[in-house]
Amino acid sequence: MSRYVLALDQGTTSSRALLIDHAGRTVAIAQAEFTQRFPSPGWVEHDADEIWASQLATIGEVLARAGATARDVLAIGITNQRETTVLWDRATGKPVAPAIVWQDRRTADACARLKADGHEALVAATTGLRLDPYFSATKLGWLLDNVAGARRRAEAGELAFGTIDSWLIYNLTRGARHVTDPSNASRTLLLDLRTACWSEPMLRLFGIPAACLPGIVPSSLGVSAAPLAIVDGLRIPITGIAGDQQAALFGQACFEPGMAKNTYGTGCFLLMNTGSAPLASTHELLSTLAWDVGGRRYALEGSVFSGGAVIQWLRDGLGIIKSASEVEALAASVPDTGGVGLVPAFTGLGAPYWDPYARGTIVGLTRGSTRAHIARAALESIALQSADVLLAMQADAGRPLLELKVDGGASRNDLLMQFQADVLGVPVVRPLVTETTALGAAFLAGLGAGFWASEAELAALVGIERRFEPGRDRGWALEHLAEWRRALERARGWAH
């Protein structure tokens, strides 16, 4: 009996591999960073070959660390940075250009033109997304238009497009399979959210030939249908595939409608399970496919651009702390912010405000204000931005949030987690294993391969490290939210 599921977590700055055992424990981890390229302002590229090489290296390393071999691996689960776009030659398996990363803004004008031509409503209704360079379609369009001969070759079926999941699977299977899963496909602007098939009208709108698209397979597959990875000469089924944020939702066992998670990293990524049909947001959120595991599940998604980044700024910009972990003691040294409000709109504001012209603001300073007040206001701003996204989700979903599952680097901060529970009025739940993205990929793969039997069994594997119960009344919370709104107004529309 194989002992492990191998989770491949291909992120924006590093590739990681984790071996997960039957109890859901991480037995070993290996990680390899790769090069970030910024060839022009607003451009961000990766070398897809380097991504593959780094991911492959972590497989060998994680097995060695655990004293295991490929024989000990029952199945592979893949999770990945989303939207990043690769175009490669089917004959040689070589990328025809650098991968265009999700952060890349080179197609902002193309999106603005499509918006001006009145296409946004149809795009949103079909895909659940917005016309933004963030998503894959205009990136792929750019490659087809700017790489010599690419459009003609793509139309002739000579080139393959994929997000990073497809690219890894293509390489792991030595070119045998060109597939993606619905959670990744739903980030391209090319998927019809309702049918989970490629959308003809979207392909026409973005000028994408169907011949270059991957096939779509479920996020969790049985062994007989799974792509077979060749590792050390052995064939191992790839039975789990999902984009990173959806994988984290799965890894947090948010299986029921209304369950939500927030990842507190550089930015914050919030997702709420909305059940078996897509929900059109009327509160400026994205609607996305969560996974297809014996049926499709959908989610609402909202991102906060500057989450943990505001703590980095306290450290590197202001210099009032030496490390991120110091912020908790400094903020806890005062009972409140003393009327100071901080809006960390360093790069504008994301969901649900969508204001690219907002800029960072500190309001309410008096002669009594100290760095402790500013630190506390910075910490609270992470929770207040997240609260606004969750309030929008509740309004869209028409159901109250019951609890919030949390992960990511800044979720280690107890003061922040308690404030989040207080301001939301719901418990905040921090799991034992905070590698929820990789765990989600392992869960999807293990479910498909029969390593685990059911979602109920998986939910029981997710241990709780700490639960933060709300300790304030709603009046207190509403006052804080109202004051936050007043600070927000002062930050909006500042840059021109």
Q: Which residues bind ligand ADP (CB under 6 A)?
A: 265-266, 308-309, 311-312, 324-325, 327-328, 408-410, 412-413
The minimum distance between CB 416 and ligand ADP, in angstroms, equals 6
Could you tell me where the DSSP H helices lie in 231-359? 244-251, 309-313, 327-332
User: How far apart are alpha carbons 419 and 425 in whole angstroms?
Assistant: 10
Question: Strands (DSSP E) along 152-249, which ranges?
Answer: 159-162, 179-180, 191-192, 197-198, 215-216, 228-231, 234-243
Closer residue to ligand ADP in complex, CB, 267/352? 267
The minimum distance between CB 379 and ligand ADP, in angstroms, equals 7
Closer residue to ligand ADP in complex, CB, 309/462? 309
The minimum distance between CB 439 and ligand ADP, in angstroms, equals 14
Q: What is the C-alpha R_g of the chain? A: 22
Q: Which residue has the tokens 């390393």?
A: 61
Closer residue to ligand ADP in complex, CB, 282/323? 323
Residue 430 pairs with which residues in a beta bridge?
A: 466
Identify whether the C-beta of residue 341 lies closer than 8 Å to the C-beta of residue 363.
Answer: yes
Q: CB-based burial of residue 471 (10 Å sphere; 0-12 exposed, 13-18 middle, 19+ buried)? A: exposed
- Residue 35's SS3 state is coil
User: How far apart are alpha carbons 373 and 370 in whole angstroms?
Assistant: 5
Closer residue to ligand ADP in complex, CB, 3/412? 412
The minimum distance between CB 317 and ligand ADP, in angstroms, equals 12
- Which residue number places its CB atom closest to ligand ADP? 409
Closer residue to ligand ADP in complex, CB, 39/317? 317
Amino acid letter, residue 93:
G
Closer residue to ligand ADP in complex, CB, 408/440? 408
Closer residue to ligand ADP in complex, CB, 160/268? 268
User: How far apart are alpha carbons 377 and 371 in whole angstroms?
Assistant: 10
Identify whether the C-beta of residue 427 lies closer than 8 Å to the C-beta of residue 469.
Answer: yes
The minimum distance between CB 265 and ligand ADP, in angstroms, equals 3
Identify whether the C-beta of residue 417 lies closer than 8 Å to the C-beta of residue 426.
Answer: no
The minimum distance between CB 264 and ligand ADP, in angstroms, equals 6
The minimum distance between CB 411 and ligand ADP, in angstroms, equals 8
